[in-house]
Amino acid sequence: MRKESVTLLSKHYHGYAIVAAGFVIQGTIVGAIFTYGVFFDAMHTELGWSRAAISAAPSLASLVMGFTAMLFGRLTDVTGPRRILSAAGVAITLGFLIMSRMTMPWHLLVAYPIFVGLAFGSHDVVTLSAVARWFERRRGRMSAIVKVGTGTGQVIAPAAAAVLISLFGWRNAYLWIAAVTGPLVFLAARWMYRSPEDAGVPHQDAAVLPNLAAVVEASTPTPPAVDERAPEAPPQRARDMMRRPEFLRLGIAQGAVLFCTPIIIVHLVPHATDLGIERAFAAGLLSVIGGFSIAGRMVMGSLVDRIGGRLALLYCYAIMLTSFVLLQFAAGPVLLYLFAVIYGFAHGGMFTCVSPLVAELFGIRVHGLLYGTTIFVGTLAGSLGPTVAGAVFDLTGSYRPAFLLLIVLVLVAAGAIASIRAREIGT
């Protein structure tokens, strides 16, 4: 065997293109999702709909995301990511085009969940499942780079939406978003392949490759590559994996935390404006969350490769708990921006840890289906979050009871992940 045949991660490895395309797709779709809170007050003022009604659209979109994430995860395992993401590009453009012309609440409750929610369901499970197949030794770091795309979108999109609304009005701002998001997603999807085998190239980031390189350096006969991890044969069925207790615990954690995150995305800006903060300045909170989520993704992605997804996820929950406690006392811009810094770091890191943790626990043979199912289970709870918070505000005139609930739920999530014993990792 020639030494060149075991060179790790050559600069021409197509896995890098998978990561770059995933970066663009995640940044585009999640950035568009993050603008919803910026449009909230403009829609409320012009259309006169209640906060609960406007909040219902992202809640339903989260539910659609959950169903489609499970479906798309399975389709990724079977057919690959390209067609799914191309369809997502078309759907998100149609959704925002319809929203730019809506006049009745049901228009919003159909366009946003069905079209935007469908695209939202594709972005995470499809891209990260592909990355999990293209990378093994550096799975955490490469997943982090893809998730940095979401942070980049979260930084750029809310600020851009605020400028577009001020210049052209909220309806025309939605037309601009439609014109940018769909084509970007569609073009990036052209670079996506499910795995190195599908692309017809060697896998250059498998865990066994460093050992093979050492064998070549020592000029000893090279035996057939042997994977020293626990054997996967006979492979477990996906149904059996879903019955394992650690899968249930992961689903509980996802449900608890994904109830919280849409509340922040949808209601933080209205909460800030209720406190007397100007809308553009309040929209900056979402950009700060996105900016610091980039740091969280990169730090936690590297940490996953060193200590594993379970411990890294627990660190994220501890940081998130700190931010939710601070939110109870944040009555002005300084503390709200400090909250956004701390929460943003935890938010970004958390979303980086879950896909590698699924691969650690269950392998990659049906990674798309299992990861998509955890998203589905989480969004069943997450779909309620914005609507519950909006209803709480309509009833009490305050977001405080809803924000207190966030503390309880992140503690539930931490307890569920902490109960996964170390011996269950990699079994």
Token reading at 370: 């299992």
* Residue 209 belongs to a domain: no
CATH number at residue 77: 1.20.1250.20
Give the chain's end-to-end CA distance (angstroms, integer): 33
* Residue 347 belongs to a domain: yes
Type of residue at 65: M
Task: Give the range of the structural domain holding residue 252, as residue numbers without chain letter.
Answer: 3-201+227-424
Q: Say how far apart CA 43 and CA 425 lie, in whole Å.
A: 47
Q: Is 137 helix (H, G, I), strand (E, B) or coil?
A: coil
Q: Is 95 helix (H, G, I), strand (E, B) or coil?
A: helix
Token reading at 16: 């890098």
Q: Which has the closest alpha carbon to 382: 253, 252, 257?
A: 257
Q: Say how far apart CA 160 and CA 182 lie, in whole Å.
A: 17
Would you say 371 and 129 are in contact if contact means Cβ atoms under 8 Å apart?
Answer: yes
**pLDDT at res. 331:** 83
Element (H, E) at 356: helix 333-362
Would you say 25 and 149 are in contact if contact means Cβ atoms under 8 Å apart?
Answer: yes
**pLDDT at res. 418:** 93
**pLDDT at res. 320:** 96
Would you say 291 and 344 are in contact if contact means Cβ atoms under 8 Å apart?
Answer: yes
**pLDDT at res. 346:** 94
How many C-beta atoms surround the C-beta of residue 274 within 10 A? 15
* Residue 206 belongs to a domain: no
Side-chain-facing half-sphere of 303: CA atoms under 13 Å: 19
Over residues 360-410, the pLDDT tens digits come to 888 877 888 888 888 888 777 777 888 788 888 888 888 888 899 999 999
**pLDDT at res. 180:** 92
Instruction: Give the chain's domain count.
Output: 1
* Residue 218 belongs to a domain: no
* Residue 210 belongs to a domain: no
* Residue 321 belongs to a domain: yes
**pLDDT at res. 214:** 41
Q: What angle do the packed helices 117-134 and 82-99 form, to 10 degrees?
A: 150
* Residue 256 belongs to a domain: yes
Would you say 212 and 6 are in contact if contact means Cβ atoms under 8 Å apart?
Answer: yes
* Residue 208 belongs to a domain: no
| Buried b or exposed e, range 91-110, using 16+ CB within 10 angstroms | bbbbbbbbbbebeeeeebbb
Residue 128 CB-density burial (10 A; 0-12 exposed, 13-18 middle, 19+ buried): buried
The residue count for the chain: 427
**pLDDT at res. 212:** 37
Q: Which residue has the tokens 């659609």?
A: 64
Would you say 365 and 241 are in contact if contact means Cβ atoms under 8 Å apart?
Answer: no
**pLDDT at res. 425:** 52
Give Cα 106 to chain centroid, integer Å.
27
Which residues in the chain come in under a pLDDT of 70?
1-11, 207-236, 422-427
